[in-house]
Each structure stands twice: as C-alpha cells, then as structure tokens.
Amino acid sequence: MKRNVAILGAVAAAFCAWTILSVAQSRRPAAPSNAALRQRIVAFLNRSLGWQGLDTIRVESISAPDRSGLRTAKVYLAKGAASQEASYLITADGREIIEGTASPLNGDPWAATRNKLDLRGAPAEGPAAAPVTVVEFSDLECPYCKEEAAAISQLRSRDPGKARIVFKYFPLVKIHPWAMDAAKAAVCVAAQHPDQFWTFEKTVFADQDQIDAAPNAASRLRGLALESEAEPGPYDACLRSPRTARIIADSIANGKAVGVLSTPTLFINGRMVPGAVPEATLQALVDHEASYGRPAVADGPRGAQCGQCAPLPPLKPGRGGKGR
C-alpha cells in the first residue's frame, strides 16, 4: 500500500511539474515577426546612432534562431561616401539587442568560418605553408581598401614567410560605379599573368582619383591592365567571357556566406576583422596567430587552414622565401 501511495505521489508530482512547465511555456511571449523586429531595430538605431546624422540605416537580414534562440541581424549604416556594416544579436523574445556576434567557446573559434572561405583560384601571394592566411575581401574603387592594401604590403615586405595573402573580389556596385569594371579587369590580368595581379591592384589604387565612371573607367582600366603586361586580344576576350562575371559573382557569394557586408574585410586565419586595419594592429594580429603554429594542411579542398596545429619556433624577420 505504501509503495502504491509513493508511486501515486511521484506521478502527481510529475504531473504538477509538467503542468507548471506547460503554463510557463504558454505564458512565454511569442517571438516577434521579422517585420516587427526590423521596425524595432531601426527605431533603436535611430535613437542610439541618430546623433551622427546617418543617411541610411537599413536592416539587411535577420537570421533564423540558432540553438539558443538568438537571431543575428545584419545592419547597413551609411553617411555620405562612408559606410559600414554591423551585426547584432536579438534575444529569443525580441526584447533585447546585443551588439556583436556569437562565437564558439573553444580554442579555435574561427575554424568554421575558415573552412567556409573558398580560396580556389583566388590571387594569392606568400608561402602556401605560412602559419597565417590573410584573406581580404576588397573593392578596387574603395578608398579604405587602398589604405588596407598599403598596410598589407608592409606586412608582406616585413615578414614574407609569415603570412599568405589572398585577394577576394567584393565590388560594392551600389556605391562604386566602376568597381565591377575594375574587378573584371583584375580577373583578366590574373588570368594571363597571376603574378601581375598585385601590380595591377597597386596601379589601380594609385590611380583611383583619376578614374571616372564608365565609359572612361573601362578605357582607363584597360590601359592599366596592358601596363601590367596583359595582352590586348586575350584581355578583351576575357572581359566578354561569362566565366569572368561568374568568378566575381562566386567571390561575392562566398563573402556573403561568411558575413562580409563592407570592404575591406579581412579574415586572419578565419577571424573576421571588418574595416581598414592599421598596420600595427594587422601585424599584432598576424604575429598572434603565427604563435599558434603551422597548419597541418596548408590548402585543403576549400583553402582550409590549421585543422590541427603543431608549435613552431618564433619566426624572425625575413625568414622564408617570398612565394606566389
């Protein structure tokens, strides 16, 4: 009898607990719709950032909830020619906003992003087995990309064996009228002479102020391409080829898949660093990543790096040969 009472008591307790949980869940406010969230986010940003006199505050996307219920909102902000993108986390109930992004809590939090970066066929300079890969999503009409290119050039010359630099096309056609023409021209220079891509990038950045919108841009870019040793016939054919447009479209899609919204955006061994990074900061980030060791496999099927790392001795300035 006592056993039966005990069983009935346990069943009753379980039923009560289930009832309480059910009531609590029924009282939990439903998650707001994306349309409602967009309105709330814009209202919040207008209040918090409106003092800067921004021309544009636009919610680009809101992700589906992750396992914890958090959603990621990508926001585009612009004032004049300057623009930037920001990420915000939205709580499950839509009541709170957190600036930034969530990262895996482990010793290699950027592994998933690193494995998503598709580096096949992208212009690259530096040893394939370098301990650090710096992937830059760039726009040849972007003035901030010009600044970043100078910082990266200093890094390459100072520590040629420490980092492999990879260029990814990400022309911002909505705000840069000849950015797509420049990307196509760069693809066609690289198709003939991969090493000359970097020469072409440098000359375009140096000539940014002299290049106007089409049709002048196409003519000027063609001249710079020929100065970079491109042959006129193959270059012109390359510009017309659907493959050229596809290469750029694939690069843009890859950038969006890893969260790129603005240029320049760097990925240092998979760590996303948006905006122009000062030379000293870039060097510090690269030095820090290099201290974790050489990648076991430098270039996997998608350019993955550092799946398992073995310690390396400290690299000295100038150690290693310069490769492309």
| Count of Cβ atoms closer than 10 Å to residue 36 Cβ | 11
Q: Which amino acid, residue 323?
A: G
Residue 302: which pLDDT band, with cuts at 50, 70 and 90? very low
> Among 19-33, 102-116, 226-240, 255-269, whose mean pLDDT is lowest?
19-33
CA 237 to chain centre: 31
Q: Which of 2-11, 238-247, 260-269 has the lowest mean pLDDT?
A: 2-11
Q: How far apart are CA 307 and CA 309, in angstroms?
A: 7
Chain position carrying tokens 């998650």? 31
Respond yes or no on whether the N-terminal peptide bond of residue 264 is cis (omega within 30° of 0).
Answer: yes
> At 78, which amino acid appears?
A
Residue 29, pLDDT score: 57
Higher pLDDT, 310 or 78: 78
For residue 292, give every residue at least 6 positions away whose Cβ sits within 8 Å of its Cβ, in sequence order, or none.
131, 269, 306, 309
Q: Which residues contact 147 (CB under 8 A, 6 or more apart)?
A: 276
pLDDT at position 260, please?
A: 92
The residue to which tokens 């790129």 are assigned: 260
Helices (H) and strands (E) in the chain, counts: 10, 11
Q: Is the pLDDT of residue 301 over 50?
A: no
Of all residues in the chain, the percent with pLDDT exceeding 90 is 59
Q: C-alpha distances in angstroms, 267 versus 29, 163, 255, 289?
A: 38, 12, 10, 11
Give 292 or 230, the one with higher predicted confidence: 230
Residue 22 clears pLDDT 90, i.e. is over it: no
Burial 195-206 (b: 16+ CB within 10 A, else e): ebbbebbbbbbe
pLDDT for 124 equals 97
Provide the pLDDT for residue 61: 92
Amino acid identity at 110 = W
How far is the CA of 255 from the CAs of 114, 172, 313, in angstroms?
A: 12, 12, 33
Mean pLDDT check: name the lowest of 84-93, 108-117, 268-277.
Answer: 84-93
Q: Model's pTM, two decimal places?
A: 0.72
Mean pLDDT value of segment 308-323: 37
Mean per-residue pLDDT over the chain, rounded: 83
Strands 132-138 and 163-169: parallel
Q: Could you write out the DSSP letters of every residue in 237-266? A: HHHH-HHHHHHHHHHHHHHHHTT--SSSEE
| 3-state secondary structure at position 47 | helix
pLDDT tens sequence across 26-51? 455 567 888 999 999 999 998 888 88
* Residue bearing tokens 């970097």: 198
**Res 8 pLDDT > 90:** no
Q: What is the three-class DSSP state of 101?
A: coil
Name which residue leads in pLDDT, 79 or 121. 121
H/E element holding 43? helix 34-49
Whole-angstrom Cα Rg for the chain: 25
Residue 198 has pLDDT above 60, yes or no: yes
For residue 316, the model assigns a pLDDT of 38
Give the CA count within 13 Å in the CB-facing half-sphere of 13. 6
- The tally of CA atoms less than 13 A away on the side-chain side of residue 70 is 14
Distance CA 222, CA 218 (A): 6
d(C-alpha 91, C-alpha 94), whole Å: 5
Two tokens, residue 65: 């909830």
Each residue's pLDDT tens digit, 139-185 = 999 999 999 999 999 999 998 889 999 999 999 999 999 999 999 99
**pLDDT: is 147 or 8 the higher one?**
147
Mean pLDDT for the stretch of residues 255-281: 93
CB atoms within 10 A of CB 318: 12
- Mean pLDDT check: name the lowest of 4-13, 172-181, 269-278, 300-309: 300-309
| pLDDT of 49 | 85
